[in-house]
Structure 1
Amino acid sequence: MGNAIADNDLPGSGRPVSGAAGWYAVVVLCLALLVSFTDRLVINLVVDPIRAGLELTDFEISLLQGAGFAVIFALAGVPCGRLADRANRRNVIMAGITLWSAATIGCGLAPDFPTFFAARVSVGLGEAALVPAASSLIIDSFSPRLRGTALGVFSLGATFGTGTALFVGGVVLAWSSAGLLAPIPFIGPLAPWRQLFVLVGISGLFLLPLFLLVPEPARHHRSGLLPIAGVLRRLGAGNGAVLRVCLVKGVLGIGDYALISWLPTLLQRSHGMSPLEAGGLIALSITASGVVASVGGGLLSDLFVRRWGVPTRVVLLLGCYALTIAGASTSFFAATEQQIALAFAGWALGSIGGYVIGHVVMQESVPNEMRATTIALSLTVTALLGIGLGPSLVPLVAVHILGGEASLQPAMATVSLAAALLALVVIWPPVRKGLAALRNEALRAAA
């Protein structure tokens, strides 16, 4: 097909690792992402037990969910990306796993709010190393024709990690309540929520041996690490398209974390569900939609590239963010736990699909020397806006705008809908440019 791209059309698209070695790396990195999201989000399942055990307010809990993790995650993101752009990416990831796993165990042992906050900060520092290094490694391991699919499979770790945090967390809490963990040395005497943190923290350490077989692919078309000024110039090129994708991911992250941080609590407080029931329902919702969004979004974006060229990949973000608007709007009217789960599934379908496609768009728009840095920048924005603001905005909107903590559901819907609408506005200029490229290619094919 005359308008299809060749594998060498993009920077960094020299001979890839691909094959069995490349896909092994994707699977192991996917597992690491799964564990990282589990360690990050398991706190959302035990909000009320932590609040009671440490005598905290909802706002203090929101700081542990959000800002305690997000501040250092944001500050460390770009330095970790710069490190991944010059050092062995596999080793950077292994160091991050070791740190965040130990810090998650520390969350389970924390005696008070300051100690817990410090442990959450350390979790954020360790996890800041993963996605920039992993994304850069995957891009260098595959040709442009397979990058969307490979990153989509990698992104399944976030989907399954969110579900695992809620479902497996519920299972562990059920075992703890039944006394099944009591005979385990060191863990048995701990409170159930503490046992949960210690166990999920330990699980991350078992990943380290798997990374010894992950290959470090060659970095093609490199001319040395770009200075920060050069990075900023490249990010501002093309009417700031890359910066817009970074920003829109952060804006949409506000809605992501507003929902996922408070959905388990909403289902337990307002619908009388147990932690296991709430976690299982949300896990089913996000896993089903997330698998479709991650794999389907990656495959569909690769299809667009093969048929109409690289500039048209960004067009798919328009549909993704329209789905988030529909999911957020439906959340206002969801009356049962099943309806709440369906509304969240619609949101997740659009949000996760946009995450995968946006990742590829950003990395294809910059040279090899700044790929990890670019992803790190997007994670920094997501941390500051999404993780930093999302969890805390919900109780603030509920109490100060909607009349009290009983307004948790409309507060969640309000925050997520505002985020989705703003995301659509921010992403429109590069989408419009992609639509023009799509029209031109369609006219060329017709002629």
Structure 2
Amino acid sequence: MALSPADVTQLAAVDTTRAARVLSEVRSATLAGQRAPVAPRPVIEQSWGRTLRSGVDPERDLRAGVLSTDEVRRRRESTELRHVLPVLREGLLSVADVAHHIMVVAGADGRVLWREGSTPVLRRADGLGFEVGADWREEVVGTNGVGTPAVVRRPVQIFASEHFVRSLATWTCTGAPITDPRDGRLLGVVDVSGPLETMHPATLAWVDSVAKLAEAGLRELHLTSLERLRAVAAPVLARLTGRALVVDRDGWTAAVTGLPAASRITLPKSLAPGRRWLPPLGPCSVEPLAEGWLIRASDDPGPRGATRIVLDLTRPRRWSVTVSGCAGSWTHELSPRHAELLYLLALHRTGRSAAGLAEDVFGDAGRTVTVRAEMSRVRRYLGGLLEHRPYRFCEQAEVEVLTPDDPLDLLPHSTAPALTAGRKPTETP
């Protein structure tokens, strides 16, 4: 009886040797362009495709050198991940050591920053180049428990020959992304890895739950910092007349006067003191205040003229929208979902209804509530440049979309039907 991908996953929990043999056959057949005995899991098949396009050699592990000790130390001291390291250790290390695993924490660029756990397993990891300072991006090492979760932005378990590079086929790893709750930016990946025989299907849920605890810890730290800023802001705003607010460096509101309450406003990446145009406030006076900004909205509308919108989808996981006009320009980094939605609206300049976008993104026209919620978040930073009923860019805006040279690299994380259909290679007779 033929096995399915789900059957192989279940088999791995009870007979790792047989499951590893099946997956080795699947990998060999797939890379040779032949019919595999079992189709790879979709997340693995998509990762293999990205890795092949990156030029990774499946038979040889060709990586750049590791970071120096000083550079690792510098990155450890500057990353937000350092704040949640105790949570990760408490949630993962005690079990990992008993289960013959190691815990690895890598930055958003795939560089290993911390590595702890079972001493014998650490020695085996050394032989695979899984060491502090090593580069484990998917485009460098192929499908793996650090690089792949960073691309797809969800937890992934990689077992045996699901790894792209053959030398990693004796390994099993489970990684989950950790994102910054302030802006959704990827901070890094926490991974639990070990020899093939240590594979357990429950590891995926375990690592994911600890990663979510870490994100909750970061959220609590952010709320504490807002409270500190609020204590400074309150007496300042009490002395002002007109419309003003105090926000932290990421645009989260600490205090407000004369304006409707908003949890966050969008700030340019390179915000500096002076007169600035900020959506949706318009012309403003910006002054530094403690660990944030004092922003006073002007009653003089001044020049608007934000007429050019550039949607940049060329850089992996660094998608952005830039708005330019006579009042200056500003750039906002996009989440994966917002990148999908704005790309679809750029394709359909006459507009898309909520049901149309739901069909495009989810393959389900009934998911309009989700679409409307996301579009409401998009309009927080694009303001009047986006119209609704239907959703569309305003007619006065010139919209340009920058896309990767290879269509297969366009938002590779996305499973939206409107995007996956465009990524399918053209069949030749």
Does TM-score exceed 0.5, indicating one fold?
no
TM-score of the superposed pair, with normalisation by structure 2:
0.24
Structure with more strand by fraction: 2
Rg larger for: 2
TM-score of the superposed pair, with normalisation by structure 1:
0.23
Structure with more helix by fraction: 1
- Higher RCO (C-alpha under 8 Å, 6+ residues apart): 1
